[in-house]
Amino acid sequence: MKKTKLIIISASAIFILLIAVIVGIIGADESSSSYDNSSEFLMSTNNKIAVEYYSNNYRKILNSHLKGTTKGYVPLFRCIYLYNILMEQSDFCDGKDDCKPLNNYNENDDINVSKIIDNSSMGKYISNNNDDAVKFFKKAFNDSLNENGTLKSLEEVCKNDDYNSSKGCSKSFLNAVYKSGFESESGYPQVLNFPLKITNSISISSIFNVKRIVNLSSESFIDYHSGWDISAPAQTKIYSACDGVVTATNNSQKENKQSAIANYVKIKCDIKLNIQIEIWYWHLYPNSIVVSKNDHVSANQHIADVGTTGLSTGNHLHFQIVQVGHSNQRLDGFAYINWSKYNTSE
Ligand SMILES: [Zn+2]
């Protein structure tokens, strides 16, 4: 009996290893194998279901902003954190201990923010589409934005009376958040353009860092999304998000359908940041690439069109920001977009 069990366990381990290797190979051109701090909370197993519901609601809010007059982006971590504060302070949590994850920490504890989020069982309220829960999630998003669509610092949001007296806005908690690497005190440098014209025909189909089961006709595998997917009609024009130099292109796919390798363009940005970034535009329409390797491009210059080549199930742009020399380091591309340019309705 024991032997059989051992064989099954060994066989399973080998199988899992094999799958991991296969996924590693297939995903190599688009996904990466290691993750930065900010992805930890999306990968945590305890709260997997909760996070899936958070991210669905989050995607809905992002899409309503893309289509509305107020445009902007708030990192998912920020929404969940502020949402925790709002819920905890509301009548909703009276008598519900699992509703107060911040209460498990004392001022002097070494506060681990990813643990706070992981310990929060509030996802179940959002998952039931509880009105209060969804309302607080939306409020957390809206309260984080300035009128022009730029992101407020967490400290600024904490000045608001709805958050001010909460534990999560105390000096020690704020310092813990910065120490954890989820947020920086200075926020993000918003230096990029959005790569598509914002119209009613585009929407966000998959968010950054979300865990996905990718189902293709030939295979299915688990993937932590390394970029943003913006769904758009075939041949929608894509514009460079920065001034820069084209470092690579691939135009080998001649048909606009799922294939082994995507058509793509990579552009290294001429932007002075602490790190050097390159932007990857994936799944491009056949023969739509109008730039070549070593070309200098300017921000908003047309570079290619939307398609569905590569590991893709529909027409969309996969938009990914990569740190040059550290392609395994995941960066949240939307955090770098200057949304104040897109705050007028059309
Ligand atoms: Zn993608």
Q: Over the stretch 172-202, which tens digit does the pLDDT of each residue have?
A: 888 888 877 667 777 678 899 999 999 889 9
If pLDDT is split at 50, 70 and 90, which confidence band does 38 have?
Answer: very low
How far, in Å, is the centroid of ligand 1 from the Cα of 130? 30
Q: Please tell me the distance between residue 122's alpha carbon and the centre of ligand 1 in angstroms.
A: 28
264 CA → ligand 1 middle, Å = 12
Helices assigned H by DSSP within 151-228: 154-158, 161-164, 171-180
Answer yes or no: do 173 and 45 share one domain: yes
Separation CA 167–CA 105 (nearest Å): 10
Domain check: are 213 and 337 in the same one?
yes
337 and 207 in a common domain: yes
Alpha helix locations (H) across 47-102? 48-67, 76-89
Let me know whether 66 and 160 are in one domain: yes
- The CA distance from 55 to 59, in Å, is 6
The number of beta carbons lying within 10 Å of the beta carbon of residue 309 is 27
Backbone angles phi, psi at 30, to 5 degrees: -130, -35
Calculate how far, in angstroms, residue 276's C-alpha sits from the geometric centre of ligand 1.
Answer: 22
User: Is residue 62 situated within a structural domain?
Assistant: yes
Between the CA of 11 and the centroid of ligand 1 the distance, in Å, is: 32
Task: Give the bridge partners for 203, in sequence order.
Answer: 231
Q: What is the pLDDT of residue 194?
A: 95
Is position 16 within any domain? no
Same domain, 164 and 276: no
Reported confidence tier of residue 84, pLDDT bands at 50, 70, 90:
confident
**pLDDT tens track for 335-345:** 899 988 875 44
Question: Between these two residues, 70 and 206, which has the higher pLDDT value?
Answer: 206
C-alpha of residue 243 to centroid of ligand 1, in Å: 23
103 CA distance to ligand 1 middle (Å): 37
pTM assigned to the model: 0.79
Q: Are strands 316-323 and 228-231 parallel, antiparallel or unpaired?
A: antiparallel
What are the pLDDT digits (tens) for 218-236? 777 777 788 999 999 999 9
Alpha carbon of 208 to those of 173, 204, 300, 321: distances in Å? Answer: 25, 10, 22, 10
Residue 275 has pLDDT above 50, yes or no: yes
Ligand 1 centroid, distance to 51 Cα (angstroms): 19
Q: Which residue did the predictor score with more confidence, 304 or 330?
A: 304
Confidence of residue 167 (pLDDT cuts 50, 70, 90): confident
Instruction: Using the mean position of ligand 1's atoms as its centre, give its distance from the Cα of residue 294 in Å.
Output: 25
Ligand 1 centroid from CA 133, angstroms: 28
**How far, in Å, is the centroid of ligand 1 from the Cα of 229?**
5
pLDDT number for residue 262: 95
Q: Is the predicted pLDDT of residue 12 greater than 60, yes or no? A: no
List the single range of 9-18, 19-28, 158-167 with lowest mean pLDDT: 19-28
Distance CA 31, CA 23 (A): 9
For the chain, the average pLDDT equals: 79
> Would the pLDDT of 165 be above 60?
yes
Among 280, 285, 278, residue whose Cα is nearest residue 263: 285
Domain count, the chain: 2
* Same domain membership, residue 261 and residue 130: no
Centre of ligand 1 from the C-alpha of residue 10, in Å: 34
Tell me, in angstroms, the distance from the centre of ligand 1 to residue 209's CA.
Answer: 10
Distance between Cα 171 and ligand 1 center (Å)? 37
Do residues 240 and 218 lie in contact, with contact meaning Cβ atoms separated by under 8 Å?
no
| Residues 210, 332 within the same domain | yes
242, 208 Cβ separation under 8 angstroms: no
162: which 2 tokens?
A: 């709805």
Q: Assess whether pLDDT exceeds 70 at residue 112.
A: no
Highest mean pLDDT among 146-155, 171-180, 278-287, 337-346: 278-287
pLDDT confidence tier of residue 37, bands split at 50, 70 and 90: very low
Say if 325 falls within a structural domain.
yes
**Given this model, what pLDDT does residue 124 score?**
64
Res 91 pLDDT > 70: yes
Task: Provide the pLDDT for residue 20.
Answer: 37
User: Is residue 228 in a domain?
Assistant: yes
Q: Is residue 23 part of a domain?
A: no
217 lies in the same domain as 295: yes
Does the residue 236 lie in any domain? yes
Q: Is residue 149 part of a domain?
A: yes
**How many Å lie between the centroid of ligand 1 and the Cα of residue 188?**
22
pLDDT at 179: 78
Specify the pLDDT at position 155: 93
Expressed in angstroms and rounded, the spacing between residue 303 Cα and the centre of ligand 1 is 18
pLDDT of residue 114: 64
Number of other residues whose CB lies within 10 A of the CB of residue 3 = 7
For the four alpha carbons of 283, 284, 285 and 287, in that order, the dihedral sign comes to negative
What are the beta bridge partners of residue 337?
A: 192
pLDDT band for position 292 (cuts 50, 70, 90):
very high
- Flag the least confident range among 45-49, 202-206, 255-259, 269-273: 45-49
Q: How many Å apart are CA 315 and CA 306, to the nearest integer?
A: 6
Residue 116 one-letter amino acid: I
Residue 28 structure tokens: 């190599």
Distance in angstroms (rounded) separating the CA atoms of residues 102 and 172: 12
State both tokens at 31. 């996904």
Q: What percent of the chain has pLDDT over 90?
A: 36
SS3 136: helix
CA of 263 to the centre of ligand 1 (A): 13
Those residues with Cβ within 8 angstroms of residue 94's Cβ, 6 or more apart along the chain or in another chain: none
Q: How far is the CA of 28 from the centre of ligand 1 (A)?
A: 13
Using the mean position of ligand 1's atoms as its centre, give its distance from the Cα of residue 189 in Å. Answer: 23
Same domain, 163 and 116: yes
- pLDDT, residue 47, reads 52
Same structural domain for residues 145 and 76?
yes
CATH number at residue 234: 2.70.70.10
Q: Extract the tokens encoding 173.
A: 């908690």
Query: Looking at residue 7, what is its pLDDT?
Result: 46
- Ligand 1 centroid, distance to 231 Cα (angstroms): 10
Structural domain range at position 61: 37-180
Q: How far apart are CA 56 and CA 214, in angstroms?
A: 16
Both 121 and 235 in one domain: the answer is no
Q: Judge if 83 and 214 occupy the same domain.
A: no
For residue 4, the model assigns a pLDDT of 47
Amino acid (one-letter) located at 225 = H
